Structure 1
Amino acid sequence: MLATLAARDLGAEPHWLGWQVACTYAAASTVSMFSGGLLRRLGPARCTQLALAAGAAACLLIVGAGLAGAVLGSFLTGIGYGLTNPSASQVLARLTPPARRNRVFAVKQTGVPIGGALAGAILPGLAGAIGWRGAVLAVGGVMAVAAIGCGAFRRHWDGEREPGAPLGAGALGGIVALRTRPGLGPLAVISACFSGFQLALGSYIVTMLVEEGGWAPVAAGFVASASQAVGIGARIAWGVVADWWRSGMKALAAIGVCTCLGGALLPMALAGPGVGIVMLLCLLGTCAAGWNGLLLAEAARLAAPGKAGDAAGGVLSVAFAGVVVGPSLFGAAVAVTQSYSAAFGMLALFPGIGALIAWRSALKGR
């Protein structure tokens, strides 16, 4: 949300944001794949605390160390982000009834669009009042407080941890899960296709509207916030649909088709009336950001008993790799076409591919 403001002060071009996203998710991909040993020894609550503390430290680096600090902070953010979902999946897989799995994981994933909506609504105005650096420091302070607060859940979340387990034990659990559990490989590819488009959309909505559409930054931020806000209810709705269909893969296929069509229409919508682009971005918010809970629920379903964290880590490591590739390709496409909307139209091919894989897996009963 603050990319346009920060880029000028850091001496970076706005479309370089794709490379910043790539740094973050390259680190997240690696940590997710090898998180099993840390999760087993420290437990989900402590791993979540470490993740939040890493994000807070990243904010300090971004503010205090210029462009180099932004790069280092991006890697540190990715390290923290790579720990969060395996930790949560380990807890939820143990506590959730199978018939409600998609809905519960979908509710858990609403935290992402809620955070995005709050960022879009608050951060541009806050940056206007105290500067973008002050806004980043405020985010870091919230994360530090949350890291401390998570300590209250250790007794409930960390009941299965093994305090004496070597950190290397289970470190390759994500790789093992992808190789040995039927259905996890295709699910990982689907996640890569979807995540690349989703993160490009979330990262570049404001920049597209400001740079190409001529919108004011605050107005563009509110549109981005609206597209994130509709994703909150959409994630729960998709979870209900998946449980109703008794097939997360069929729901993922439907999401992929809708996302592909919406992305392909973005160039036309941006050239038309403002209400059209707002409606389309909100529609994309219900689809492009609606798959995450279903993905983690499917990973938990396909995981070996007691290994939901490993399965989530393996699948998400591929999803994060898709995030590295997707926004990077998007940034390159913008540099060539000089059009953010045209780049979105090109990138829409990826969720279409994910939809085909999901439908094929659903027909196979996986």
Structure 2
Amino acid sequence: MEHEQHGPRRWWVLAVGMFAMTSGCAFQFGLPYLIPVLRDEGLSLSRAGLLAACPTIGLVLTLAAWGAAADRWGERWVLASGLGLGGLVLPAATAVHGPFALGLCFLLAGAAGASAHASSGRLILGWFPARERGLAMGLRQTSLPLGVALAALLLPPLAAHGRARALAVLGALSVAAALLVAVAVRDPARTDGGAGARAANPYRTAVLWRLHGAATLLVVPQFTVSVFALVFLVDERGWSPSTAGPLLACVQVAGAGARLAAGRWSDVVGSRVRPIRQLAVTASGVLALLAVGAFTGSAPAVAALMAAGVLTVSTNGLSFTAVAEYAGSAWAGRALGVHTTVRNAVAACVGPTVGALIGSTGYGWAYALVVGFPLAAAALLPRPHEKSAGPTSRARRERAGLDLKPG
């Protein structure tokens, strides 16, 4: 898969992959926009929130399996079948009765749509040469905020006419994406002949484990900032939600731009790890300023919050690119599945844990606590020329940008 795919076709493949992942993310992470209509149906806030989380639970449960399937059978049909199945389950949810049956449908749709997270990353690894892969993966990572934005735009007005219409539109988007993938996408050339099971296991060295661990540590400050940004501005700074919302939307847009800039930076310097380490250290400094601002109630806390919101998401695409490149064509799907699973599992714990901390000690101590997570991630990242066993380790390290230039 290190084979370079030439011509403009790779950008078309990227565009189709982004549309596919955006469609999947719209229902996997956008169902909270249906909470008002679910409450109108008589559900409590806690039950409605649990239903909205069911697609994410399904995604976490099946990511590794979808990745293994993509390694074995290729990206095109795994991506198309998962999105197609998820798109068919969503309209079926309009015919069921009771929260348990509805939650099961949401869980199954999320589990099917998880194929997009493993397969779309593999497509980028196969179609793009290393000098463009960081930017391409950064573009791919913008699909998640685009999907959530699409849900925010479509679901509230559709839900005004009933839950069924909103779910039908989400299902139609997913099916359309599946059909587009089946028609327009071709699997990239593979150097392993599809013999993933016979390839050397990259998990026999510490490099992938350290990449997973560092990226997971960086999830903690990312979700600490994003989950509580609105309530911080409202509770601590006295802003109204209508004023804080547009500002935080701008932060999301800037964060997407930061992902792209970081990806391009990694392409230019020939390293994925070096930019991650430098961005992590910078994010730690900004989080420290945010903690000080929260303790003192000073105005610069708002600027620090915005900067933290951008910096803490800037490394997402880089970590996925490094994992896929180091794993290689035979193991990339499984490695990306593990990577996404672990990150999402930890992210799910951040909200209740940090929320309890804020409730007992305040925002200042919560922000101060997460200052150390980016520093720990920077220390955990693998170093250039670090010894790793196995005859293919050198090639893997070069693919992952760990040896190309000093880090």
Query: C-alpha distance in 2, partners of 1:74/1:205?
Result: 28
Match of 1:93 among 125, 136, 159: 125
Matched, 1:251 2:283: no
Match of 1:111 among 143, 146, 150: 143
Q: Which has the higher helix share?
A: 1
Q: Which moved more, 1:315-324 or 1:130-139?
A: 130-139
Match runs of 1:125-274 below 5 Å: 127=156, 138=166, 141-142=169-170, 144-157=172-185, 159=187, 179-180=203-204, 183-269=207-293, 271-273=297-299
1:30: which partner in 2?
61
Contact 2:220 2:347 in 1 (8 A): yes
Q: C-alpha offsets along residues 92-149 of structure 1, whole Å, 9 cap, x if unaligned?
A: 11111122221211122122334456667x58xx85x787896996487246324323
Q: C-alpha offsets along residues 279-309 of structure 1, whole Å, 9 cap, x if unaligned?
A: 3333223321111211121112101334322
Match runs of 1:264-343 below 5 Å: 264-269=288-293, 271-273=297-299, 276-337=300-361, 339-340=362-363, 342-343=365-366
Contact 2:69 2:78 in 1 (8 A): no
Aligned amino acid, residue 83 of structure 1: S
Q: Give the drift of 1:328.
A: 3.8
Contact 1:266 1:277 in 2 (8 A): yes
Task: For structure 2, list consecutive stretches of 5 or more residues without a partner in the other structure.
Answer: 1-29, 190-194, 387-401
RMSD: 4.3
Query: C-alpha distance in 2, partners of 1:4/1:340?
Result: 27
Q: C-alpha offsets along residues 322-364 of structure 1, whole Å, 9 cap, x if unaligned?
A: 2233334223323433x35643432343222112212x53463
1:351: which partner in 2?
374
Contact 1:45 1:87 in 2 (8 A): no
Q: Report the CA distance shift for 1:130/1:321 in structure 2 as closer, same or farther (over 3 A).
A: closer
Matched, 1:47 2:79: yes
Contact 1:55 1:143 in 2 (8 A): yes
Q: Give the drift of 1:87.
A: 0.7
Alignment TM-score, normalising by the size of structure 1: 0.74
Query: C-alpha distance in 2, partners of 1:132/1:207?
Result: 26
Query: C-alpha distance in 1, partners of 2:220/2:176?
Result: 32
Q: C-alpha offsets along residues 219-258 of structure 1, whole Å, 9 cap, x if unaligned?
A: 2321221111001211111112112221111111122122
Aligned amino acid, residue 272 of structure 1: S
Query: C-alpha distance in 2, partners of 1:250/1:224?
Result: 28
Q: Report the CA distance shift for 1:347/1:304 in structure 2 as closer, same or farther (over 3 A).
A: same
Aligned amino acid, residue 258 of structure 1: T
Contact 2:289 2:301 in 1 (8 A): no
Identity %, equivalent residues: 22
Query: SS at the partner of 1:290?
Result: coil
Which has the higher relative contact order, 1 or 2, with Cα contacts under 8 A spaced 6 or more apart?
A: 1
Query: C-alpha distance in 2, partners of 1:56/1:204?
Result: 35
Query: SS at the partner of 1:153?
Result: helix
Higher-Rg structure is 2
Q: Give the total of aligned pairs.
A: 346
Query: C-alpha distance in 2, partners of 1:77/1:282?
Result: 34
Query: SS at the partner of 2:383?
Result: helix
Task: For structure 1, list consecutive stretches of 5 or more residues without a partner in the other structure.
Answer: 162-168
Q: C-alpha offsets along residues 41-81 of structure 1, whole Å, 9 cap, x if unaligned?
A: 5844553563486489679979x988768965774575256
Matched, 1:361 2:383: yes
Match runs of 1:8-27 below 5 Å: 9=39, 11-12=44-45, 27=58
Query: SS at the partner of 1:289?
Result: coil
Aligned amino acid, residue 208 of structure 1: F
Aligned amino acid, residue 253 of structure 1: R
Q: Report the CA distance shift for 1:20/1:153 in structure 2 as closer, same or farther (over 3 A).
A: closer
Q: Give the drift of 1:206.
A: 2.6
Query: SS at the partner of 2:262?
Result: helix
Alignment TM-score, normalising by the size of structure 2: 0.68
Q: Which moved more, 1:148-157 or 1:136-145?
A: 136-145
Q: Report the CA distance shift for 1:302/1:79 in structure 2 as closer, same or farther (over 3 A).
A: same
Contact 2:64 2:333 in 1 (8 A): no
Q: Report the CA distance shift for 1:4/1:88 in structure 2 as closer, same or farther (over 3 A).
A: closer
Contact 1:266 1:342 in 2 (8 A): no
